Structure 1
Amino acid sequence: MIKFFRKIRQRLFMENRFTKYLLYALGEIILVVIGILIALQINNWNEHRKELQKELVIAKELYNELQQNLIVTTKHQQNIEKINQEVLFLLNISNDSLKSLTNKELNEHIFKSSKITSYRPINQKLKRILGIESFGFSHSKTLLNELQDYNNSIDDITAMNLSAVEVFRNMMVPFLGENLSLKNLMHEMYPNKITKSDNYVDVGPIIKSMAFENLYADLFASYTSYIFTLERTIELTKNLITHIEKAYPSVIPTK
């Protein structure tokens, strides 16, 4: 093809048809420029297609991770809710109710009120994406900001969980150890593993003490705030899942 155009140029030049030669040369330059522009456009299109494919993979990974963390966070919220219900029960127990409950039943309520568990969010992919400064979602202008809000909420839960664990270790265990028989407390829950202690303690008066009341009032306030943050995070998670489904419909598993 190049030889063909070269022969045409030579023939026009040899025939002294200079004007036509200039026009032809100009046309050839234009064709070359158009070819370069087309090649650049194709290259840009290929790069854009690769970026969209990468973005779709990331959206799919985030979508799956959000689904998994929704389960983890919901189960944790239900667990904290149960603990707080036990805390509230012991905090509001009346003298008449106290008389109708045995030491075993009271120990069971106290044990259930102290069963704090660790919160281990599934957010590795989220952290990785938020750590990429230049990354953005072309199908949504607000998704990245919403993911940051969600990440902040996850961090708040993690901090609250650590605080609750510290309260259990540094406040509840020392208080219960000083005023109750921890062995009897554990015996009521695991009678086949832990024998009953010879140190009998009447639990009722301890529950009605000012120290117990203040401790459990503080626990109730903390857990109520904890549950609110968990519920907010669950709502954020559901909204993000819906957002990704609308922006990237292909992430939805086919039945």
Structure 2
Amino acid sequence: MIKFFKNKRKEFLKKDKLVNYLKYAFGEIILVVVGILIAVSINNWNEDRKQKKNINNILAIVAEDIKNDTIEANKILKSYNDKKAYFLKIMNDGYTKEEFMDCKSCPYLITNSYPFTINKRGYDLLNEYADYSEANQDSLVFQINNFYTTSIQNVNRIHNFIDDDIRSNMKEWSDKYPWFLKLFNGEIDKNSYDYFYADPIYKNKVVYHYALIYRSFIPVLEGFNEKSKVLLEKIDGRLK
């Protein structure tokens, strides 16, 4: 009988040790899992903070690009506004022939342009973070992308029209008029004034080019400046 109880006691102790061991092992597993979860959370937090810092750095670059683009846009606006009086005077027959011959800019009004190239350094960097979930959900990032997409499309479209018109004018003159070579070299043949002053076709070309510049391109630049100002305020607010 005593032997029986001794055996039972040994079996009980063995089971107790096994239970304790399992409890200990289970506790160790839980600690390991918790440790891994904490490490992952810290890593995610650090990564998220790093991504936010990177996006803020990119926003600062975007702001710098916009400021430089606005300065360039204002230079172009000034250049075209300085030439506007020549367009209007030709369109309204405001010149005498003698006055027209003294106007060195008049024969060149429709042969050159002031191209506006939008800086895309910050915009391209921002697109590299398009897969970052928080950037995707950021309304400011969305507004910046929309601003650049629309602005680049509008500027390129009107530039194409202006460039096509200039090429067309230059091609026509080179094919038809012997004074073109002198005009191309910055000299004005007196015989060319029969065309520039008296030919209604030239006036029509001036009117068409005026429409491209002052009815299309100038409003695009002014709209760019207005939207740039709003975006800069929002970016500055975010960075502060």
TM-score, normalization: structure 1?
0.70
Cα 1:81–1:241 shift into 2, 3 Å: same
Aligned twin of 1:149: 147
Q: Which amino acid aligns with 1:248?
A: L
Aligned twin of 1:214: 204
Give the deviation of 1:170 after TM superposition.
Answer: 1.4
Partner SS state of residue 190, structure 2: coil
Q: Which amino acid aligns with 1:130?
A: N
Q: Which amino acid aligns with 2:124?
A: K
Aligned twin of 1:48: 48
Q: Does 1:226 align with 2:217?
A: yes
- Report the Cα distance in structure 1 between the residues aligned to 2:180 and 2:59, rounded to whole angstroms: 49
Cα 1:127–1:49 shift into 2, 3 Å: closer
Aligned twin of 2:9: none
Q: Which aligned pairs between 1:184-195 and structure 2 lie closer than 5 A?
A: none
Aligned twin of 1:89: 89
**Structure 2 gaps, min length 5:** 1-12
Deviates more, 1:67-76 or 1:224-233: 67-76
TM-score, normalization: structure 2?
0.73
Aligned twin of 2:165: 167
Give the deviation of 1:231 after TM superposition.
Answer: 0.9
Give the deviation of 1:131 after TM superposition.
Answer: 5.9
Instruction: Summarize deviations over 1:6-48 as a string: whole Å, max 9, x none.
Output: xxxxxxx789488877766665554444323222211111111
Q: Does 1:134 align with 2:128?
A: no
Cα 1:170–1:160 shift into 2, 3 Å: same
Aligned twin of 2:105: 108
The answer to whether the 8 A contact 1:84-1:223 is kept is: no
Give the deviation of 1:245 after TM superposition.
Answer: 0.8
Computing the radius of gyration from Cα coordinates, the structure with the larger value is: 2
Give the deviation of 1:181 after TM superposition.
Answer: 4.0
Cα 1:86–1:123 shift into 2, 3 Å: farther
The answer to whether the 8 A contact 1:150-1:236 is kept is: no
Cα 1:27–1:39 shift into 2, 3 Å: same
Q: 1:201 aligns with which of 186, 191, 197?
A: 191
Q: Which amino acid aligns with 2:58?
A: I
The answer to whether the 8 A contact 2:65-2:122 is kept is: yes
Aligned residues: 226
